[in-house]
Structure 1
Amino acid sequence: MSEIIPVDVPTVGESISEVQIGSWLKKDGDWVENGEDLVEIETEKASVQIPAPSSGYLQGILKQTDEFAEVGETIASIRVGEKPEGGGGSSDAPAASNSSAPAAPAPAPASRASEKSVGGAAAFVMPAAQRLLDEHSLSASDVPATGPGGRLLKEDVLAYIRSGATRPAAPAPAPAAPAPAPRQAMTAPPAMDAAPAHTLMTEGAYRSEEVKPMSMLRRTIASRLVQAQQTAALLTTFNEIDMSPVMKIRSKYKDAFAKKHGVKLGFMSFFAKAAVEALRRYPAVNAEIRGDSMVYRNYQDIGIAIGGGKGLVVPVLRNVERMSFSQIEGSIAEYARLAGENRLQPSDLMGGTFTISNGGIYGSLLSTPIVNPPQSGILGLHSIQERPIAEDGQVVIRPMMYIALTYDHRIVDGREAVGFLVTIKETIEDPARLFLEV
């Protein structure tokens, strides 16, 4: 008898007792190698992959995408066995050997009907698909299931609805009812009877709704942002920067920089270094309120907002004051890669004394970013646009960027906030300051 090994939700961090199932990387019946990633789970801080505890066939998936599971709960199992010949992890390997008997093709005359009823009735109906079935008064047995393992997907139901296929039309006797047969009844009723079912189906398909549980990460982001709005005295101040000097340096040295360090020279390293200088001059922006005390740090751990597979995440660069330009750019590039693959670890996102968010890469011209508590400040960068400005009594065109600092007014005064942005502006408009420390 084959050994069955459970796949349990591992401990993924202190105080985390519940996770959400992201996506299964393997299907029920697939061959998996020991240590191969099976499923992606999402915690309130990051996404984590659960590896296979042993080589064998994945079976008995108990939790589907978007469902929740407790730490330590069994969500699937591995049936230990021999690897299928041919090296392919075919999910049908065990089943194919058992179903080689030619008896299956027997019900040829009623093949389509039997596929509908048997396949549909036996299929696991995904929640979104069930909602559409209920909305349109359909049965799962009416819709062919195309999902893995015979699952009925939302896309299957939508395709069935759009095809115009409906349940056997009960209103058929209606045209025969108007026996008096006035001249109008010969033309109007048939059209009126046929139209409603079709029109309702079409309208439903284009006006459907899908209810999905909020992800663990999104729930944490939402609660923390609401917490920031409710507990901190947030205020935002603005300034603008002439990006010409940095753009010239970047254009001049980007090829040599990339050749030497293997990473592109971006704007973020300049702003990270400028933020270090501003945080040194105005330490309250780098501090936090802890109870009735104010905690000032003599180091700068700066979070960099990055768009990832699960949305916006903020990995933290530790001790940026000790990092070189190449180290900053290399770390950001690595975090962006991990975020795109949903492989950031909770420790990558924890801590941070200050945050930089660049909405300009998405086209944002101006915004008021929200502080990530318990931090006291966040710097918002925006898109670079050529604008006319006055310079030495003349109107000139320069590539300008608006910058915004949102800060907790309980610990940071307006004078400090304005001075912070002026330091950023002076440093970016005269980058030599970064190297001369003036």
Structure 2
Amino acid sequence: MSSEVKIPSLGESISSGVLAKWHVADGDTVKSGQALFELETDKITQEGVAEADGVISLKVAEGDEVKIGEVIAVIAEGAAAPAKDDSEDDAVAGSGDPGPDSAAKSTAVSPAVRRVAEETGIDPAGVEGTGKDGRVTKGDMLSAAKAAESAKSQKPASAPAPAAPKAEVKTQKSSSGEAKQTRKKMTPLRAKIADRLVQAQHQAAMLTTFNEVDMSGVMALRKKYQDAFVKKNGFKLGFMSFFTKAVVHALKEVPGVNAIIDGNEIVQNHYYDIGVAVSTDKGLMVPVVRDCDQLSLAGIESSIAEVAKRARDSKITLADLEGGVFTITNGGIFGSMLSTPILNAPQSAILGLHAINDRPIAVDGQVVIRPMMYLALSYDHRLVDGKEAVTFLVKVKQAIEDPARLLLDL
């Protein structure tokens, strides 16, 4: 009995993807629930798991484009991978008469021999076996491949050279032999990110306004209650929950920022699902934290940590990325001092956070050193006027500099 491994449905808008990585090899024994492969689409990266125990036979290679519902492997249920032995693990698994019959060789080969055959194009049936009872081993296949390569290299110069296969990765080397350039195909997710960023700049009248915020109040609050917070919740209190709450407060005060343009209509949002940009190995993703107006600081911190982990572990879903009304991106964790974030369409604004640095500022006529952060609000000027954008950013600044405002809703 066998079980087919198919590409799962990931949503109506996704019809295909690239099989980015196999977590198992051809001929491996797999268990139900075991991660088998990593599928990368233009929106998310998703892992596929085994639905049965048995030996897996792979049907597609890494890097191949696959369709939703396509069979990419078959699991022979109840089977077990052959035990490996240094002298015979790569031999042909003959049946009946163990003699070196070529037909028997060609119909039953070990996974290792089959992989070499697929890679080199050499038929095991035409290879002289040196294993027990004349069975073909992996070493026999490699020797045959080496002999074939040697024969090719000794062809007369007049013979036409075979066409080189199209390489997935191209490398240009310097005179010292070191690689100067490496080319590889852009992944669907990276290509989609690039396309969306360019579209955002072309389709919106994007403008950025700046301000700076004194982080002393939030930092003092965190320091005072951090131990008690960790003891109660099991994780630390960060800065993102304060900024998320401050953004929700500012969206309520300046509702024009919490709207989008849809054709010739302005759609006003009355909910507060905030996107948080997360850097992953596959590219930037923006999972959404739902109902931030109803969550506590601990609830926001927990939700951000959860969706960020799923994004980095390639377990994020389309539902996690949809429906945000506003985005926060924090380049400060990488040391950025100042930037102009690009809109996350169709949203009308995005807040960029930056590094916290001690700087001299004037307070009550005195020069003091305070931990300061630059804030950047990029917005769609077609919908949001300059007065609204500046007011919004001031509201965020006030809430962060005096966190009590968040409790009193001032």
- Indicate the residue corresponding to 2:259 in structure 1: 287
Residue among 96, 100, 105 paired with 2:89: 96
Please name the residue that 1:325 is paired with: 297
Distance 1:241 1:21, change over 3 A: same
Task: Provide the rounded CA distance (Å) in 2 between the counterparts of 1:415 and 1:282.
Answer: 10
Whole-Å separation in 1 of the counterparts to 2:184 and 2:73? 22
How far 1:223 sits from its partner (Å)?
Answer: 1.5
Q: How far has the Cα of 1:309 moved from its partner?
A: 3.3
- Please give the per-residue CA displacement for 1:238-269, whole angstroms capped at 9, x wherever unaligned: 00000011000011111110110112100000
**2:375 matches 1:348:** no
Map Cα deviations across residues 58-90 of structure 1 (whole Å, 9 max, x no partner).
Answer: 1133131x32111122222222333469xxxx7
Which residue identity lines up with residue 25 of structure 2 in the other structure? Answer: K
Q: How does 1:105-184 map to 2 (within 5 A)?
A: 115=142, 118=145
Q: TM-score by structure 1 length?
A: 0.75
Q: SS state of the match for residue 11, structure 1?
A: coil
Structure 2 contact 174–180 (Cα < 8 Å) conserved = no
The residue aligned with 2:32 is 34
Offset, 1:97? 8.6
Of 22, 42, 45 in structure 2, the residue corresponding to residue 44 of structure 1 is 42
Residue type matched to 1:77 in 2? V
Residues 252 and 117 from structure 1, CA distance in 2 versus in 1: closer, same or farther, beyond 3 angstroms? farther
2:196 partner SS: helix
Structure 2 unpaired stretches of 5+: 99-128, 150-160
- Verify: 1:8 aligned to 2:35, yes or no: no
Secondary structure, aligned partner of 1:288: strand
Q: State whether structure 2 residue 64 is matched by structure 1 residue 67.
A: yes
Higher helix residue share:
1
Secondary structure in 1 matching 2:354: strand
**Which residue identity lines up with residue 227 of structure 1 in the other structure?**
Q
Contact 1:27/1:91, CA 8 A, preserved across alignment:
no
Q: Report what 2:342 is aligned to.
A: 370
SS of 1:248's equivalent in the other structure is helix
Q: 1:431 is aligned with what amino acid? A: P
Q: CA deviation at 1:310?
A: 1.7
Partner SS for 1:210: strand
SS state at 1:398 partner: strand
* CA distance, structure 2, for counterparts of residue 120 and residue 248 of structure 1: 73
Instruction: For 2:263 and 2:173, locate their aligned partners in 1 and report how far apart those are by CA, in whole Å.
Output: 58
Matched residues in 1 for 2:187 and 2:406: separation?
Answer: 41
Output one character per residue of 1:171-213: Cα deviation in whole Å (capped at 9) or x when no partner.
Answer: xxxxxxxxxxxxxxxxxxxxxxxxxxxxx97637423533322
Once structures 1 and 2 are overlaid, which stretch shifts more, 322-331 or 50-59? 50-59
1:121 positional shift: 7.0
Kept after mapping to 2: 8 A contact 1:19/1:68: yes
Contact 2:55 2:81 in 1 (8 A): no
**Distance between the aligned counterparts of 2:147 and 2:359, measured in 1?**
61
Match of 1:76 in 2: 73
> CA contact under 8 A between 1:30 and 1:92: conserved in structure 2?
no
Matched residue type, 1:69:
V
Structure 1: distance between partners of 2:344 and 2:162: 47
Q: Offset of 1:305 from its aligned partner?
A: 0.8
Does the C-alpha gap of structure 1 residues 120 and 431 become closer, same or farther in structure 2, counting only changes over 3 Å?
farther
> Do the aligned partners of 2:332 and 2:355 also contact (CA within 8 Å) in 1?
yes
CA contact (8 A) 1:386 1:398 kept: yes
Which of 229, 249, 252 is the equivalent residue of 1:277?
Answer: 249
Q: Could you say if the C-alpha distance between residues 341 and 29 of structure 1 is closer, same or farther in structure 2, counting changes exceeding 3 Å?
A: same
- 8 Å contact from structure 1 (residues 302, 354) kept in 2: yes
| Structure 1 residues 352-400: Cα deviation after superposition (integer angstroms, max 9, x where no partner) | 0000000000000000000011100000000000011111112111100
Distance of 1:99 and 1:202 partners within structure 2: 44
User: Partner letter of residue 190 of structure 2?
Assistant: R
1:426 maps to which residue? 398
Q: Give the 3-state SS of the residue equivalent to 1:209 in structure 2.
A: strand
The aligned length equals 359
Q: Please, what is the CA RMSD of the aligned residues?
A: 3.2
* Cα distance change on mapping 1:22 and 1:112 into 2, 3 Å: closer
Paired with 2:147 and 2:162, the residues of 1 have a C-alpha distance of: 11
Does residue 384 of structure 2 align to residue 391 of structure 1?
Answer: no
Partner in structure 1 of residue 372 of structure 2: 400
Deviation at 1:348, TM superposition (A): 0.6
- Find the aligned partners of 1:241 and 1:46 in 2 and give their Cα distance: 34
Report SS of the residue matched to 1:35. Answer: coil
On the 8 A contact 2:33/2:49 being kept in 1, the answer is yes
Q: Provide the C-alpha distance between the structure 2 equivalents of 1:18 and 1:25, rounded to a whole number of angstroms.
A: 20
Q: Determine the structure 1 residue equivalent to 2:104.
A: none
Percent same amino acid among aligned pairs? 48
Q: Distance in 2 between matches of 1:103 and 1:25?
A: 32
Query: 1:32 offset after TM fit, Å?
Result: 0.7
Structure 1: distance between partners of 2:16 and 2:359: 50
1:298 is aligned with what amino acid?
H
Report the AA paired with residue 77 of structure 2. V
Counterpart of 1:298?
270
> Per the alignment, in what secondary structure is the counterpart of residue 193 of structure 2?
helix
